[in-house]
Structure 1
Amino acid sequence: MKGLSMTWRQLGCALLLAGGAATCMAAPVDMPDCSDNDFGAFFSAFAKSEALQQSLVADPLIEQRIYPGRKQPRVSIRKLTPEQRPSLALLQPAKRAERGLVVEQDGTRQMVLRDSKGELLKVYTFTRGQCWVLSRIDDWSLEGFFTGRKEKVAGELDVERARVYEGLGRAGLYDNPGQLMNAALNSLLSAAGKGNNEAAVQAVILIFSGEAERLPDSTIVQLLESAMSTERDAGAMLAHFVCYGEEYAENLTCQNPGKALQALQQSAKLESPRGLVDLGYAYEQGKLGQQDNARAMACYQQAALEASGYRDSAVDGIKRLNDKGLNEDPSQSCL
């Protein structure tokens, strides 16, 4: 039995070394079945076992980290000796639960560890030989970037962190930029949760861009509803969304005209050119249950007073109503 036991240990060492591991004194007692192609099951065992985390690591281990720079973050890539390896303790289920971390499989050989605030983001890449071996860690975490800084506005640092992540995601530094854009989105959601309405609007814009995770419709509505008390375009965005989702509005029927009308009126109240033009068009066409050319003219005229990307649409609306014989009425208001 002793001879057989030594044989299995020698075989385990051979598998580790062939897979790229640095050293091997003996195979860990919890060595997973490396013949199994289930990467998720392997990682589950790897995350729980300190012995596997010490054994199934390439030498050298490649690490990419991000550091603060004067104008933009610095990215550093280095080869780590066994003595330089970072701790893998956060992969352990108990540690993840303690810090509210989530681990997700990305493809067939990567695991992503992240939090819900956009502060921590680590990508673990494994290569497959006789067994899976951790070969690279990309640490995109920004949790220490703003140490010592105080916020003048609630969520200000979350918004700045989101800006950094968006810049990194669009810089082509990572083959899956969606992970960085999701971290940006989580940062904006963290700011929105602190009452930062501008961040709530930015979060919705990022969602609509398709660069980050698509959140449920109810979350998008909630973000815009909370923001439209202070953010000029939030009401107009909400009106379009509750009417048409993310579809183009031409020739479509509004699914929630009452809610859309209230949202546009709030946007117009804050003198949003977009809200004024959209409300004017709704009145002109009767698309939200109220047809009123006089109000439409007043909305267009108010929108035309401000230099914006919606001024041409406002002028076009005024011309259409002029062609119908409607003239300016100074006593008529948009609202």
Structure 2
Amino acid sequence: MNIPKISSLVLLLLFAGCTSPAKRGAPDCSRQSFPEFLSHFSTDVSFQRQAVVYPLVKMQVIDAEPEPRPHTTRQSQEEVVFPVMPDKKKRDADGLMLETESVQATDAKVLLYKPDTDYQVIYIFERTACWQLTEIQDWSL
């Protein structure tokens, strides 16, 4: 028997069960419409963990002198605090509103805010194969 053929067969069998990195831990792409995706994202923390792009871009307004200014960081998977978006029960308890500002074929913006306050957080999602959170902009002071 030819040794290179055996090596090739062994390698083929070893890798046959492997999945591509895009599939391992990837978000559930069965929710194709953005409203379906957002409904699931806003209620399921484990789904949030899968549907975040790392490093996650996070912008916060820093109360600096002479004026507040935006400060942007890139957070690794270990640095991101979940849930990144509060569920409906928490939003209702805190008087927060969640509204989709815009949805395009490849991106969407969602606004989380508290009426009559400066609390305002924008979530930016992008879609390649699946919808994923790519950035959080916290404009609250």
TM-score bin, normalised by smaller chain? 0.7 to 0.9
Q: Which residue identity is paired with 2:22?
A: A
Which structure has the larger Rg over C-alpha atoms? 1
Counterpart among 35, 39, 58 of residue 34 in structure 2? 39
The residue number in structure 2 matching 1:103 is 98
Q: What are the Cα deviations for residues 160-204 of structure 1, in whole angstroms up to 9, with x where unaligned?
A: xxxxxxxxxxxxxxxxxxxxxxxxxxxxxxxxxxxxxxxxxxxxx
Q: Which residue identity is paired with 1:14?
A: A
The reply on whether 1:129 has 2:124 as its aligned counterpart is no
Question: 1:74 Cα deviation (Å)?
Answer: 2.0
Secondary structure, aligned partner of 1:79: strand
Matched residues, number: 120
CA distance in 1, matches of 2:89, 2:45: 13
Structure number having the greater helix percentage: 1
Structure number having the greater strand percentage: 2
CA distance in 2, matches of 1:90, 1:79: 17
Question: 1:124 Cα deviation (Å)?
Answer: 0.3
Secondary structure, aligned partner of 2:22: helix
Counterpart among 22, 46, 64 of residue 14 in structure 1? 22
Secondary structure, aligned partner of 2:48: helix
CA distance in 2, matches of 1:75, 1:114: 18
The reply on whether 1:58 has 2:53 as its aligned counterpart is yes
Q: CA 1:99 to 1:62, structure 2 compared with 1: closer, same or farther past 3 Å?
A: same
TM-score by length of 2: 0.75
Question: 1:32 Cα deviation (Å)?
Answer: 5.5
Q: What are the Cα deviations for residues 88-128 of structure 1, in whole angstroms up to 9, with x where unaligned?
A: 35431111011011000011111100001223110000110
Structure 1 gap segments, 5+ residues each: 1-6, 18-23, 143-335
Does the 8 Å CA contact 1:126/1:132 hold for their aligned counterparts? Answer: yes
**Which protein has greater RCO, CA pairs closer than 8 Å, 6+ apart?**
2
Identity, % of aligned positions: 26
CA distance in 1, matches of 2:125, 2:115: 24
Does the 8 Å CA contact 2:29/2:129 hold for their aligned counterparts? Answer: no
TM-score by length of 1: 0.33
Q: How does 1:184-263 map onto structure 2 within 5 Å?
A: none
Does the 8 Å CA contact 1:123/1:139 hold for their aligned counterparts? Answer: yes
Q: Which residue identity is paired with 2:36?
A: A
The residue number in structure 2 matching 1:76 is 71
Question: 1:76 Cα deviation (Å)?
Answer: 0.6
Q: CA 1:117 to 1:88, structure 2 compared with 1: closer, same or farther past 3 Å?
A: farther
Does the 8 Å CA contact 1:90/1:96 hold for their aligned counterparts? Answer: no
Q: Which residue identity is paired with 2:47?
A: L
